[in-house]
Amino acid sequence: MTVVPSLPAGLAARAEAVAGLIAERLDTPARADAAAVRAARQSDVSFWAGASLSEGHAGLALLHRHAAGREEGQGRARAFTRAAFAATGQSPLHHPGLFDGTAGLAFALQDVSRDEPRFLPSLGRLHEQLARQVIDADWPRVPGAVADHHYDLVYGAAGIAVQLCAAAPATPLVEEALERCLRHLVWVAADGNWAVGSRLDTGMAHGAAGIAAALAAAWRRDRRVPGQRAAMEELTGWLLAVGDGGTGPGRGGSGAGVAGGAGGLRWSRVVPADGGEAAPAWCHGTGGVAAGLLAVARATGDPGLEARAFAALEGLLDRVAGGDVPRSPTVCHGLAGIAALAHEFAAHGSAGAARALPGLALRLVDAADPGLPLLYRDHETTGHVVDNPGLLTGAAGIALTLRALATGHRPGWWSVLFPR
């Protein structure tokens, strides 16, 4: 298990305590459902689905599996896993995505199965269901007809590939589905086929960084298709070329020739630029792009690209320390996601990320308000402030991140944010 530099003991204890309090307020599926009902009244977005990894019981199963109280946490994790499966009876999972579909439920079940092997037969059947959904998926292969949910990390082929790479045993049907995902991603990477309209997304959640990270994760596991290495180089070369502050190398390679090195690079959400650097976040902009570059660097053994990834993330962390504060405390587009990025980069040797980590953890702990139902509220892009219980944009994800920061370990659930 990867270990990063530990937090000061007092801060680690505070982070554990906050994470534990959130887990206590979401200790049963019934309480989580009640919290979701309250959150729905605060938002104009329908987000809660019982089987969802992102915003459902599957994600909360991970919250309790990784909680500090081992035995009690395992019992709760099993209860949430069963609730997630029960939810599919009312709302079957007809789509394969990682954060809100079959791949996400499989991810959670696989994690919980490490402590509860009785779930393994169900996991095998779920992977077969996932593989059939991928094989039957109607992903367009015509430039201009592609939408981000066909290929991205959250809903599309990139996230699905991450889970299929981890499926064990890798049955012939699973292998066929994984190959289809990888071939689709290689096609998408060619000549900007991931354009939605005239815009190209740079980010981890829905754009080039997420595609690159998924291809890199498969590469590291020796799951490869023709053109995969070239696709990774195409994506990283393009990302370095469009980073604000560098002239860019054009296509391919590790970005030699970027003006001023990657420390000066920062990324808007989409290209053409939509108003400067994206807000500090995991999902869009510099943070996620840096993580995508790091994933490719680790997969291909490119120290120059790794250095550029470090410099880009460390530059973002400096800007956050200087007052460029994320709008939300959550994982997807907020402070917890920035802390997770620092944790991930520190684990891979970034001295700047290791230095930033205690300050980010302190800021996140200090933001907790026990007077709120779940201690934190998500600040949605719509302007709504929501007591969201979920993993990606809610309190469960913050608790899981605090737990990782407190222990210094790289938890298994990190793979949905940083494929490997």
Cβ 401 vs Cβ 339: under 8 Å: yes
What pLDDT was estimated at residue 242? 92
What pLDDT was estimated at residue 244? 78
Please identify which residue in the block is written with the tokens 């000066």: 264
Dihedral (Cα; 336, 341, 342, 346), 10-degree rounding: 140
Residue 271 and residue 187: Cα distance in Å, rounded? 20
> How far is Cα of residue 21 from the mean position of the Cα atoms in its chain?
24
Under-50 pLDDT residues of the chain: 246-260
What pLDDT was estimated at residue 282? 97
What pLDDT was estimated at residue 109? 97
> How far is Cα of residue 350 from the mean position of the Cα atoms in its chain?
20
Give per-residue pLDDT as tens, 382-408.
Answer: 889 999 999 999 999 999 999 999 999
- 257 torsion bin: left (phi>0), alpha (psi -120 to 50), beta (else): left
What pLDDT was estimated at residue 256? 31
Cβ 140 vs Cβ 201: under 8 Å: no
What pLDDT was estimated at residue 150? 94
Neighbours of 214 (CB within 10 A): 29
Paired with 200 in beta bridges are 271
Residue whose C-alpha is closest to residue 38's, from 332, 371, 373, 369:
373
